[in-house]
Amino acid sequence: MPTSARTRPARRKKNAALHERRVTRLFLLPSLIGVAVFFVAPFGVVVYYSLIDNPISGEFAGLANYASLLRNIAFRQAARNTAVFSGIAVPLAVVLPLLFAVLLMKKLPMKSLFRTVLISPLMVPIASVVLIWEVLFHNNGVVNEWITALGGTAVDWFKSEYSQVTIVLLYLWKNIGYNMILFMAALAEIPQDVLEAAALDGAGTVRTFFRIRLPYLSSTILFVTILSVINSFKVFREVYLLTGDYPYDALYMLQHFMNNTFRTLDYQKLSCAAILMGAVMIVIIGVLFLIDRRLGRDIEE
């Protein structure tokens, strides 16, 4: 830095830091440009589309598009189905992995094998296993044969009010491993001396779990819950691969609505739906951050 030769060392140091900051900003550039071009800038246009009458006249329409979307029967059906799915799948996607993680932290034979098996579905493309799901849950499938053999009445799993069951099972099979890893990582971070002290005090397994492990886990439980809510909004892949573009009514998800709207290129509808979904997500994420911050403060205190 020839120009700063006369300045004091402190000043020079400050200039150097400023220079470093500028240089490292360049590292962000490729990513920032890509995100701006493919996500942020077009999202601005999405907002614009959601507020205009139609792309040709470009007249400002206020919230009329949103109102008509909220009245749209297909959209309401998709939103309701997605909500039902989340309501069933999310609690299971939190409790089951937690249970498995706690068991796998115990001294059990073959526990690394169990872990491997439980996380293996993470690697398997859904498309590779849908055939088995069809064989199991088809109207003439294996599950119905079991049911009738036991004297029950067969259920048309893909085309009845029970259809979400098949999707929930597939979703859990695929996603339990991920949440289990998060819980195992959190369990491993509980200080051993706290657990030992509890054991010395004669606290049983159940009491140790609720009094000591659970409070330490609360922030992870929250994170996994929110993550599962978000992931449950994404459920579509499973339904699509099992039942295609036009599934049974109870399986019509938000992404089905989007796909079918993409086909007609109704930009107003698409934009409104994207923004509404985004807004819901941001509210959920915001709640996560607030609670996370509060919990973090509790542990520090």
By CB under 8 A, residue 91 contacts another protein: no
- We find the least distance from the C-beta atom of residue 57 to another protein, in angstroms, to be 19
By CB under 8 A, residue 95 contacts another protein: no
Q: Using alpha carbons, select from 231, 226, 233, 248 the residue that is nearest to residue 83.
A: 233
By CB under 8 A, residue 255 contacts another protein: yes
Question: What is the total count of residues that contact another protein (CB under 8 A)?
Answer: 97
By CB under 8 A, residue 108 contacts another protein: yes
Residues 120-139 that bind another protein (CB under 8 A): 120-136, 138
CA-to-CA distance for 42 and 99, rounded, in angstroms? Answer: 43
In the list 182, 217, 221, 251, the residue contacting another protein (rule: CB under 8 A) is 182
CB-based contact 167:239 (threshold 8 Å)? yes
CA-to-CA distance for 244 and 74, rounded, in angstroms? Answer: 16
Among residues 67 and 285, whose Cβ is nearest to another protein?
285
In the list 11, 14, 207, 234, the residue contacting another protein (rule: CB under 8 A) is 234
Among residues 114 and 212, whose Cβ is nearest to another protein?
114
Place of tokens 């614009």: 48
φ/ψ of residue 68, rounded to 5: -70, -30
By CB under 8 A, residue 287 contacts another protein: no
Residues 193-232 that bind another protein (CB under 8 A): 205, 219-220, 223, 230
For 252-277, give one letter per residue: b (16+ CB within 10 A) or e. Answer: bbbbbbbeebeeeebbbbbbbbbbbb
CA-to-CA distance for 141 and 134, rounded, in angstroms? Answer: 7
Name the segment binding another protein (CB under 8 A); options: 34-42, 57-65, 155-163, 208-216. Answer: 34-42
Its sign, for the CA torsion 215, 219, 224, 225, is positive
Dihedral, CA of residue 33, residue 34, residue 38 and residue 41, to nearest 10: -10
- We find the least distance from the C-beta atom of residue 6 to another protein, in angstroms, to be 23
- We find the least distance from the C-beta atom of residue 236 to another protein, in angstroms, to be 7
By CB under 8 A, residue 70 contacts another protein: no
In the list 11, 13, 14, 38, the residue contacting another protein (rule: CB under 8 A) is 38
Burial (Cβ within 10 Å: 0-12, 13-18, ≥19) of residue 186 = buried
Name the segment binding another protein (CB under 8 A); options: 58-66, 68-76, 96-104, 160-168. Answer: 96-104
- We find the least distance from the C-beta atom of residue 76 to another protein, in angstroms, to be 15
φ/ψ of residue 212, rounded to 5: -115, -55
What is the three-class DSSP state of 60? strand
Residues 141-180 that bind another protein (CB under 8 A): 141-142, 145, 173, 178
Q: Which residues pair with 60 in a beta bridge?
A: 52
In the list 26, 56, 73, 200, the residue contacting another protein (rule: CB under 8 A) is 26
In the list 13, 14, 25, 294, the residue contacting another protein (rule: CB under 8 A) is 25
Name the segment binding another protein (CB under 8 A); options: 3-11, 21-29, 87-95, 160-168. Answer: 21-29
In the list 60, 210, 246, 262, the residue contacting another protein (rule: CB under 8 A) is 262
By CB under 8 A, residue 271 contacts another protein: yes
Burial (Cβ within 10 Å: 0-12, 13-18, ≥19) of residue 37 = exposed
